[in-house]
């Protein structure tokens, strides 16, 4: 007869020596540490079992909400009334098979990061979905003058090239006070919309992008910053290649999204968190099929990139970056693709907003839309990626855009006050410019070493030198007057051409 374990109730507060008895009446002993958080430990190894609401064995049976506060206790129940203390404790409460919505709400204050590893997301009901969502706490900003909330006087929807605005007549704000913060329409016309602020005047806010619905005289709004900060990292778990020594504020590793979770919806998301490390960064590496959404967050990377991407499936939306010299905002390696929209970046010195490396497979793309990058440094280093940049504004760059292989499109962009607006210096690079505008650039297009750049007649990009081909100066008028319409270095094959 098979062995049978006798059920035994143990105390939730005391370490207990549990004796298991089989049908052969032979005593077999094991020491388990039963703790109030229901995790179990045998011989020092965490078993990751939580007998809480919404769980059964290794899978969720219903939606789960957990709460984390600086005043919490990791042995607590994890409710709003009895919160946990750390984000890892909350993540460890979640079964490895997520079949329902799981929300972890993190309060105000400084917290350590977390490694999210080994989860499978497989929705029980595709109409409801399944995910693991970590949500920080937002807080109204404290303006230098005026108020951070109010009811709009009017608004303009905006376009890809002329971004949306919200006006509050008589607001009395200090100019640029809200740049990089987040504006949200709380009620009235356009309720639910969230955007980073590109800039503000005394009575108007310009968003990074175009409103879906323009605010009106009944639109109640608020401008937020971040009350939740992740300031200390965790060591990434061991991988197939060996034990990792990488410390990161957030790591997503070996998680898989299964069919039925709802198309391209993210299986893991992080929202309203300020990542402000002293010596670490927000780094994500994740397995195939698991989508990660980073939304409404702020990054101040110190050593590593703000976001490191090594697999496909990541979306970055409504985020703000503050980059000191030599720091990087978003870095992609291994040819990984990603999507970024409504991004605000302020940078100085030799910083890089977007830095892409590796050898993408054929057709691998990145997409960056409605984003604003300001300050010295390299704004978009595309490498050998095929990229689409649409509705992007770049100002004050040392080098605005470099790289990009055949199929790379720069459309409805504005590049102004750059030392070099567009640079292609490799025979693998082939970039197409369409409806690109901008003034105050030293060099508009710099092409060398056999690269190809196409400049549409819809472009009004200007520079002191409009075209530089292997060091020889030309201009767009000469290019368009030629037949066929290009200027070329016959020796290297470097070419700038148009229609």
- Residue 292 CA to residue 128 CA, distance in Å, equals 18
Q: What's 236's DSSP letter?
A: P
What predicted TM-score, i.e. pTM, was given to this entire model? 0.86
Nearest to 92 by CA among 136, 32, 41: 41
Token reading at 487 = 């200027």
d(CA 34, CA 39): 7
Measure the CA–CA gap between 114 and 92, rounded to whole angstroms: 10
pLDDT per residue as tens digits for the range 369-411: 999 999 999 999 998 888 999 999 999 999 999 998 888 999 9
Nearest to 389 by CA among 413, 422, 406: 413
Low-confidence ranges of the chain (pLDDT < 70): 1-57, 234-248, 252-266, 278-290, 311-312, 335, 358-364
Q: Please state, as a whole number, how many other Cβ atoms lie within 10 Å of the Cβ of residue 404.
A: 32
Distance CA 161, CA 458 (A): 13
Residue 405 DSSP class? B
CA distance 499 to 485: 6
CA distances from 201 to 197, 322, 373, 392 (A): 11, 21, 19, 21
* pLDDT number for residue 44: 34
The predicted pLDDT at position 120 comes to 87
DSSP secondary structure string, 109-144? EEEE-EEEES-EE--SSTTT--EEEEE--EEE---S
Nearest to 343 by CA among 287, 407, 295, 381: 295
pLDDT (0 to 100) of residue 352:
97
Rounded Cα distance between 58 and 98, Å, is 9
Distance CA 307, CA 314 (A): 10
Q: Residue 393: helix, strand or coil by DSSP?
A: strand
Q: How far apart, in whole angstroms, are the C-alpha atoms of residue 242 and residue 244?
A: 6
If one counts every other C-beta atom within 10 angstroms of the C-beta of residue 183, the result is 25
With contact defined as beta carbons under 8 Å apart, do 164 and 207 qualify? yes
> What is the CB neighbour count within 10 angstroms for residue 449?
15
* CA dist., res. 6 & res. 20, Å (int): 6
Contacts for 305 with CB less than 8 Å, ≥ 6 apart = 281, 283, 327, 328, 329, 330, 331, 355
For residues 276 and 300, what is the distance between their CA atoms, to the nearest angstrom? 5
3-state secondary structure of 91: helix
pLDDT given for residue 285 in this prediction: 55
Cα angle 339, 340, 346 (rounded to 5 degrees) comes to 155
Q: β-strands 114-117, 247-253: how paired?
A: parallel
DSSP state of 69: -
The residue whose two tokens read 């470097």 is 494
Q: Which two tokens stand for residue 454?
A: 């196409």
Residues for the chain: how many in total? 499
CA neighbours closer than 13 Å in the CB half-sphere of residue 52: 25
Query: DSSP readout, 448-470?
Result: -TT-EEEE-TT----EEEEEEET
Token reading at 78:
């994890």
């Amino acid at each position: 007869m098979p062995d049978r374990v006798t059920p035994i109730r143990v105390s939730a507060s005391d370490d207990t020596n549990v004796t298991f008895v089989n049908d052969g009446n032979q005593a077999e002993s094991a020491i388990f540490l039963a703790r109030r958080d229901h995790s179990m430990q045998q011989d020092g190894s965490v078993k990751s079992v939580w007998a809480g609401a919404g769980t059964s064995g290794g899978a969720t049976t219903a939606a789960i909400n957990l709460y984390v506060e600086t005043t919490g206790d990791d042995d607590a129940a994890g409710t709003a009334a009895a919160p946990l203390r750390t984000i890892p404790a909350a993540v460890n409460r979640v079964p490895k098979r997520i079949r329902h919505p799981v929300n972890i709400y993190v309060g105000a204050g400084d917290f350590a990061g977390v490694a999210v590893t080994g989860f499978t997301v497989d929705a029980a009901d595709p109409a409801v979905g399944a995910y693991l969502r970590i949500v920080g706490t937002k807080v109204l900003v404290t303006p230098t003058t005026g108020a951070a909330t109010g009811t709009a006087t009017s608004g303009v929807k905006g376009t890809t090239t002329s971004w949306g605005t919200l006006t509050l007549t008589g607001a009395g704000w200090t100019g640029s006070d809200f740049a990089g913060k987040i504006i949200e329409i709380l009620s009235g016309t356009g309720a639910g919309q969230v955007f980073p602020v590109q800039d503000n005047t005394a009575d108007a806010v310009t968003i990074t992008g175009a409103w879906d619905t323009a605010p009106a005289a009944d639109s109640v709004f608020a401008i937020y910053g971040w009350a939740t900060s992740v300031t200390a990292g965790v060591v990434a778990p061991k991988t197939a290649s060996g034990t990792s020594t990488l410390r990161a504020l957030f790591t997503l590793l070996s998680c898989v999204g299964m069919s039925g979770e709802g198309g391209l919806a993210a299986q893991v998301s992080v929202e309203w968190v300020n990542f402000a490390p002293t010596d670490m960064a927000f780094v994500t590496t994740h397995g195939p099929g698991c989508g990660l959404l980073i939304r409404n967050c702020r990054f101040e990377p110190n050593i590593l990139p703000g976001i490191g991407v090594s697999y496909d499936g990541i979306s970055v939306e409504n985020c703000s970056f503050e980059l000191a010299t030599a720091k990087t905002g978003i870095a992609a390696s291994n040819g990984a693709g990603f999507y970024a929209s409504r991004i605000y970046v302020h940078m100085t010195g030799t910083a890089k907003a977007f830095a892409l490396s590796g050898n993408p497979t054929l057709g691998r793309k990145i997409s960056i839309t409605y984003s604003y990058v300001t300050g010295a440094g390299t704004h978009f280093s595309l490498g050998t990626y095929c990229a689409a940049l649409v509705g992007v504004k770049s100002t004050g760059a040392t080098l605005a855009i470099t790289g990009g292989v055949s199929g790379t499109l720069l459309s409805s962009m504005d590049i102004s006050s750059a030392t070099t607006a567009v640079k292609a210096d490799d025979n693998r690079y082939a970039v197409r410019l369409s409806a690109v505008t901008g003034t105050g650039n030293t060099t508009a297009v710099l092409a060398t070493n056999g690269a190809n750049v196409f400049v549409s007649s819809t472009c009004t990009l200007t520079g002191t030198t409009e075209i530089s081909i292997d060091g020889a100066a030309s201009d767009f008028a000469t290019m368009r007057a030629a037949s066929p319409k290009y200027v070329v270095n016959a020796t290297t094959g470097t070419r700038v051409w148009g229609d």
